[in-house]
Structure 1
């Protein structure tokens, strides 16, 4: 028996409800299964997905709309990435988390929550006719199938960072991760201060299999565009379980 409840199964529109910690892994399984098939034995299939994490009493119509908006955001990044790197549009996933109150606009929530006033606007994948607008605190959406020239866009990077911070020999104490999460929501200066303090105690934010510039490991942010690859994982500490996909 699958650990989910199908709500909509209609052509290419599929919606299901599941326990929060399983959501990202279940969608990853689904998207990877789709990628095994081709159209006319030639064109690989792909799809994008959106997840909205909320409590069980949250109004379903709001949750559905916000997951749809997350899915559209994943599609936008997928198309911009394909143009920037001259590759096929692949399968991407975005996710959003409900913290307080109700809204029907994911963009408004992200503009308010995931940008820091002292940092510049995040514009990715610049081409002559398109780009993708991101946020200072978000690395997502993530590429689920295939690979990217920039490895931090891959869901595998998210998974490796999660493992490093929570299960590896160099894992961080939960109290330090929560302290860092709160710092990210306040100021990039405070983030860098905490990262340097932890480094002095022999604790780095990441030393996994993906290579990041030392400046990013020390400050927590890329310079251009100015965004962090770390906050997604710290925000998802209680909402993710790797099912070994």
Structure 2
């Protein structure tokens, strides 16, 4: 239906051909049905825990092991921009393989956004931000999408989180977000990029007044990626979202 074979024959994805795709699907299926799916029951029975004193979230070890098994195989990089270290593949192939992970361990899939989000940063960012994107993939940093607020759910344009220009290319973000999937990830990743919607001071109302900011969990050296002090972004509770434990 999607003519994937014909798309591959165009050469747009390098040497990738139908035979290779079949092998990829077989290998991803084995991983999903084995080590990844093995964590489904224990992950369901042992939910994440939150420490209000440190604002740290602890994840079940089985969940972390499954996510690590998937990322060690680099499946989360499939279909991502090559410039950030992605693996070229048609969307039909990347999503077919993603579905193995989604079916075997839905909770684990939530922690695989890093490379895809870094790809968006690379495509839309300035030169410094492009370098951040490459570092994020190379260092296997996590990523979250930070949109929803207590008074801004489906009406995203009602968001009140404020961005204050510091005059040196950085911004100070003030506000509260809610229902952030995989908002923290224990020790799965050394760092996390929180892609955050906020309204710069003086910007207009509604969605047109919002901008997207990269808020790292840890400050880092822009050139080397060496981690610095903890940033002022913290989890304050674990939410119970429909369909997500």
Of structures 1 and 2, the one scoring higher in RCO (CA 8 A, sep 6+) is 1
Query: TM-score of the superposition, structure 1-length normalised?
Result: 0.30
Q: TM-score, normalised by structure 2?
A: 0.30
Q: Greater CA radius of gyration, 1 or 2?
A: 2
